[in-house]
Amino acid sequence: MRKIAECCIGARVPGYQRYGTPTVFVAEKASGYSGIYYAYCDICGGMFKFNRWYRRISLICPCCGRKHTGIGREIMFTTDDRSILPYRLYMTVIEFKDKIEVRLTYDGMRFDCEKEKIEWYKNVKEVFALNIKDERADWKQIVEGLVVGETAIGYYTDVKEMWQKTALSFFHYRRIIKSGNLTILLRKLRACINQHMVNKGYSRKAFYLQGNESCRLYGSVLAIARKVRFWDAPVMPYNGIGRLSFKEWKEYRLKEQHLPENWEIHVEKIMKKEGMSYQQAVLQVLGLPNTSFVRRNLTYENIFAFMHAYSLPTLAMANEASKTFISMEPPVDRRNIYWNIDTYKQKVMQICKFIRTFYAQYMSVMTWKHIAGKIDLYIDTLRLWECADKITKREFCKADVPLSHLHDWLSVAVARQDDREVIFCISEKLKQSLRKNINGYNFKCIERKSELKKAAIELKNCSVGYSRRIGSHVQIVVVVNKEGKLTAMLEVREHTICQAKLFANDEVYKNVSVNKACIAYARSAGLTCNTCDIEAMD
């Protein structure tokens, strides 16, 4: 056993400038009480409560008038009132024969927001065990001699799962410390890991993390744990990249919501079972071909493009499509990346769906070169196809419609079916997620044009004009009371409630019980609310 590095932050006495001790501790009350904060000033010993904190940059104690600045520096802040906020921490890196441990010992405090009191803790311990021999990493927390938290780490999901569970997530990287140096400690830890891996026969790797300094200490230790588990995996930007946070990077660059659930855990199982490299296991889990072209171009940012391209009927078409999809993706530093990425994802998914839908019919003429020049036209054609009813689709199967005339043929055919029943193209999973019973009100997604017409007449509104828009991106949800009477209608667009109307387009907030049910419904269905038609309840 050998101590590699150590660092001490804070002391038993308050004083950030001298010891790096935090001077104020703040906790936001648990969900359901958003916007209520409890704080304790360590300068005067005063505890106070407030309900607004503009930009969370600084805080003035109303008891003594002291101004505290900098979250992770003078201010220890948590959004989870179960977290222990540290004020004095001792961090050491210990090297063993086959593993390295990052040990934390700290004193801290926790808010009991319900009872409005503070609980103090001494000698809380955390251990990040980096097992080089077995290529695994684990974390545990010990409070008052009992193990209260224990989990395997080394996966990219740790950044979210471990946030505000470990004391490291509360400290800013550029903060005053009592003794030692965080930069040197992390550098020695990385060098020690590298040396152990080289001794095992692996090549040396660089895994220094740049990015947001408010969470660099936390992100760096988790990135090192991930490297121990997946040595040949590319480094993920745990501290963000450019103007994107890691959460935004996962959503807009990795596009995590389109990946299989727990995909990296499955990757690890295959690596150990079949002796594969990280990249080979990723290809197998994601269903991608193990070709030189894919291996050469596979990055985290390109996974989405490859997964959709290689869902196409032929390998030649998939190779060409993947190049186009990668080139289509907007740069990371665009000002309007959020809108652009969503548009890009929809384009990729829709054009792939168009090809899979019509390939059997137009196999001889459908090449990627032909498709690539008319992507927008064929996406519009797919929308028309999704509006087509069974009669129109039967007529299409009988008619010999050339691919070049398909859009125009469908435009005319769909226009003719206005008086026929239309079943909206909404997945069963989405319909199920929007179907809820809240406070005696039934919320149900409208599935047919006839249902929409009936609801529009009953509520005296113009919702029937939305029939062409309703589908996977836009849904109309009706609210029915205990007596079976239709009381309200919601427009849901991309998981966001955009409108909420009562009879004759009155706003929902005018009916208190319906308004309250709609708020609870949004939470239950995982929807956000972007309308003045619903008012938040106190």
State pLDDT tens for residues 234-279. 999 999 888 888 998 998 889 999 999 999 999 999 999 999 999 9
Residues 363 and 221 in one domain: no
CA distance 311 to 69: 52
Interval 469-491 mean pLDDT: 93
**pTM recorded for the entire structure:** 0.76
- Three-class SS state of 515: helix
Q: Does a structural domain hold residue 329?
A: yes
Interval 104-117 mean pLDDT: 92
28-35 long-range Cβ contacts below 8 angstroms, 24+ apart: 28/77, 28/78, 28/79, 28/81, 29/81, 29/113, 30/80, 30/81, 30/113, 33/113
Q: Does a structural domain hold residue 400?
A: no
Q: Does a structural domain hold residue 77?
A: yes
Name the residue range of residue 338's domain: 256-387
- Residue 538's pLDDT is 53
Residues 304 and 224 in one domain: no
Are the C-beta atoms of 379 and 350 separated by less than 8 Å?
yes
Counting the structural domains of the chain, the total is 3
Residues 436 and 317 in one domain: no
**Residues 6+ away with beta carbon under 8 Å from 203:** none
Residues 310 and 381 in one domain: yes
- Residue 421's pLDDT is 75
Interval 76-105 mean pLDDT: 95
- Residue 337's pLDDT is 60
Interval 68-84 mean pLDDT: 93
Q: Does a structural domain hold residue 311?
A: yes
CA distance 538 to 522: 16
- Residue 82's pLDDT is 87
- Among 23-37, 51-65, 98-112, 128-142, where is mean pLDDT lowest? 23-37
Residues 137 and 48 in one domain: yes
- The HSE-up count of residue 14 (CA atoms within 13 Å, CB side) is 15
- φ, ψ of residue 392 to 5 degrees: the values are -60, -40
Q: Does a structural domain hold residue 30?
A: yes
